[in-house]
Structure 1
Amino acid sequence: MSKSPFTDAIAALASNHQVQLAMTAVGASLVTSFAFTTYNTFQRNARTKAAKRDAPDVHLPFTRDASGIGFTKEEKYDEEIIKEQLARNIVFLGEEGIEKIRHSFVIIVGAGGVGSWAALMLLRSGVEHIRIIDFDQVTLSSLNRHAVATHEDVGTPKVIALKRNFEQIAPWAKIEPLTQLFNKNSAPQLLAGNPDFIIDAIDNIDTKLALLKYCHDNHLPIISSMGAGAKADPTRVQISDISQTFEDPLARAVRRRLRRMDVESGITVVYSTEKPNIKLLPLDESRIDNADEYATLPDFRSRILPVLGTIPSIFGMTIATYIITTLASYPIQPLANKNRDSLYARIHRDLQVRENKTYGTDIIPLDKRDVGYAVDEIWRGRSVISGASEKLTLLRWDKTQPLSLQNCVVLTKEEAAKHDAIVGKPEDYYPREVVELVHARFKEEREFAMFR
């Protein structure tokens, strides 16, 4: 039988000594690779089984400490397990940074959409002592934004739902769930223990102000969440001092009321520069006459603010990131909003030019900060006539009176040109609703001026 050319070629290769050596090497490599992979798989499975075997039961008893607030646990956990769980953070922040985080104590007031996400990410990042304060329970409507709550948690206090979940993630952490309503009278007890950080995740403005004022007066480090409701743009979420916020109605209200408490700045906040276009949902007609009866508590909001569930989570994770980087001495540096600063500078220049041209004034009594205050605080960043928010300028309302915060209005440039042409009192020129709004804002500013 004749041999084919292919068979002859194979025979020739097989008789070649170099080819034989190469084939032997390839075969040995395959065997070695298989053995190495099998060994690694075996070792990994063995470590996993050992970790599960050595990890204590996560459902562990808690006992009150001497203060009556905190909880103590005596169980010990394998340090290698904890460090393996935090391995990625250790690589990022270093051993020293992680140790600072692990030995920190954070108090979270408010366990809703923002607070629950902040608490969850602090726990996952290594914080081993967390106190969570909230009087409210999980509802079906809160499942769109709560970090851990499920259908089984509906009707359960939010802090208990968090504690149950957290024990499954980091059973060695000390979690203090306090089902209580924060107020200025309970503050000394609820905030006791020298916390490294306090998170304000409260959506009731009076309670929020009580917390911020207490922390400011007692030099307790706090970061506060402003309004996450009615927002949808994640690129607008910012970190800044309360004095530098804008476009956030809740931040504006908090800012102005804090001034009345002699607090100008020094409180870090997370807020959104997005202009909300969605308002509170109307009450059912049957509830209008007795709206207060449908509030969670007296003085709490009874109407519903639409919330896109993703935004509170972003607020919460932003807060957690700020805290863990600060604790680890890896501080982030939030970008200043240069666009707003440039807007104030431009409006200030326009005001100087107008005052000089119209009244012969070389020096005006308002600086750039005053201009920013007038634009965003008094006039909410909008023209008093049209409500427009573009191409704005600042000018005197009554041309016969000196320029001041109580005699200047925000208009568009086109509206300002018409205003300059008015002869006589502006009250005789504009519609009644515009005049009433101007006078109401001036009255409001006179009241706030006592605290500036």
Structure 2
Amino acid sequence: MESGNPLDYQIVPNFRVRTIPVLGTTPALFGMAAAGFVLCALAGPEHEVHGEPIIRLTALQYERALQRLQERERARFGTDEGVGVDLDEVAYLLREVWRGFSATDPHRVVPPGGDKGLMRATAHLTFTRWDPSKPATADNLVLLSTSEADEHEQLASLEPLRRERPELVARVEAVLDRVRRELYY
């Protein structure tokens, strides 16, 4: 069996055939990224660099998340007219903000190597209003498990939660503030 002449497979004439091309800027880019990481670590925890894992969710998962939110709003308030998010905002919240994890999960276990390209199950999660006195807009929606959402919706205000779980309240409100800045300002 003949494999043919390697020169027939050249992309550029007179270029090395059996050597993988090298991108000369890669070492410099890596060095800059490493230096940035070290400088942020030296600057303190408020400047710490956190990886941004990319998760893959399907359009059906976003649609179901929006449907579950609308169903909860209808069950609780008799109408879903107060839902101030569309499918794109639900996708942003589910994928980018909460990363497919419940807001009460402080550790958010990510498998070794990150979760790039991993599918994440979201059927047990639902959006609900964080502050029951405010409308269901992107900056007031929190992702919780169904049982956690049922428990959260029993609260008339956030004050009991502020006393019992101040670290959770601080973490969720920081995330919702980021959403507010990214979407509305």
Common topology (TM > 0.5): yes
Partner of 1:345 in structure 2? 63
Tell me how far 1:354 sits from its aligned partner.
1.2
Tell me how far 1:397 sits from its aligned partner.
0.6
Tell me how far 1:409 sits from its aligned partner.
0.3
Tell me how far 1:437 sits from its aligned partner.
0.4
- Cα distance, 1:81–1:449 mapped onto 2, change above 3 Å: closer
1:375 aligns with 2:94: yes
Q: Is the 8 A contact 2:6 2:17 kept in 1?
A: no
Aligned-partner Cα distance in 2 for 1:380–1:359: 28
Partner of 2:135 in structure 1? 402
Q: Is the 8 A contact 1:427 1:435 kept in 2?
A: no
Larger Rg: 1
Tell me how far 1:427 sits from its aligned partner.
3.9
Tell me how far 1:127 sits from its aligned partner.
2.9
Partner of 2:158 in structure 1? 426
- Cα distance, 1:168–1:366 mapped onto 2, change above 3 Å: closer
- Cα distance, 1:398–1:181 mapped onto 2, change above 3 Å: same
Q: Is the 8 A contact 1:344 1:368 kept in 2?
A: yes
Question: Which of 352, 360, 368 is the equivalent residue of 2:78?
Answer: 360
Tell me how far 1:373 sits from its aligned partner.
1.0
Aligned-partner Cα distance in 2 for 1:397–1:169: 59
Alignment of 1:64-213 (within 5 A): 82-83=7-8, 86=9, 126-128=10-12, 167=16, 169=18, 178=24
Alignment of 1:186-335 (within 5 A): 298-301=35-38
Partner of 2:111 in structure 1? none
Q: Name the SS of the counterpart of 1:299 in structure 2.
A: helix
1:415 aligns with 2:133: no
Aligned-partner Cα distance in 2 for 1:438–1:177: 42
1:385 aligns with 2:104: yes
Aligned-partner Cα distance in 1 for 2:180–2:135: 15
Aligned-partner Cα distance in 1 for 2:159–2:132: 12
| Paired residues, number | 152
Q: Name the SS of the counterpart of 2:128 in structure 1.
A: strand
Tell me how far 1:362 sits from its aligned partner.
3.5
Partner of 2:176 in structure 1? 442
Letter in 1 for 2:170: E
Structure 1: which 5+ residue stretches go unaligned? 1-39, 45-50, 52-79, 87-125, 130-165, 183-201, 208-294, 304-336
Tell me how far 1:168 sits from its aligned partner.
6.5
Tell me how far 1:380 sits from its aligned partner.
2.2
Aligned-partner Cα distance in 2 for 1:427–1:350: 26
Q: Is the 8 A contact 1:406 1:445 kept in 2?
A: yes
Letter in 2 for 1:426: L
> Percent same amino acid at aligned positions?
26
- Cα distance, 1:355–1:168 mapped onto 2, change above 3 Å: closer
Q: Name the SS of the counterpart of 2:142 in structure 1.
A: strand
Aligned-partner Cα distance in 2 for 1:177–1:381: 35
Summarize deviations over 1:383-441 as a string: whole Å, max 9, x none. 11135775110010111111111111000001011111112x22422501100001111
Tell me how far 1:169 sits from its aligned partner.
1.5
Aligned-partner Cα distance in 2 for 1:395–1:82: 62
Give the RMSD, CA atoms, in angstroms: 3.7
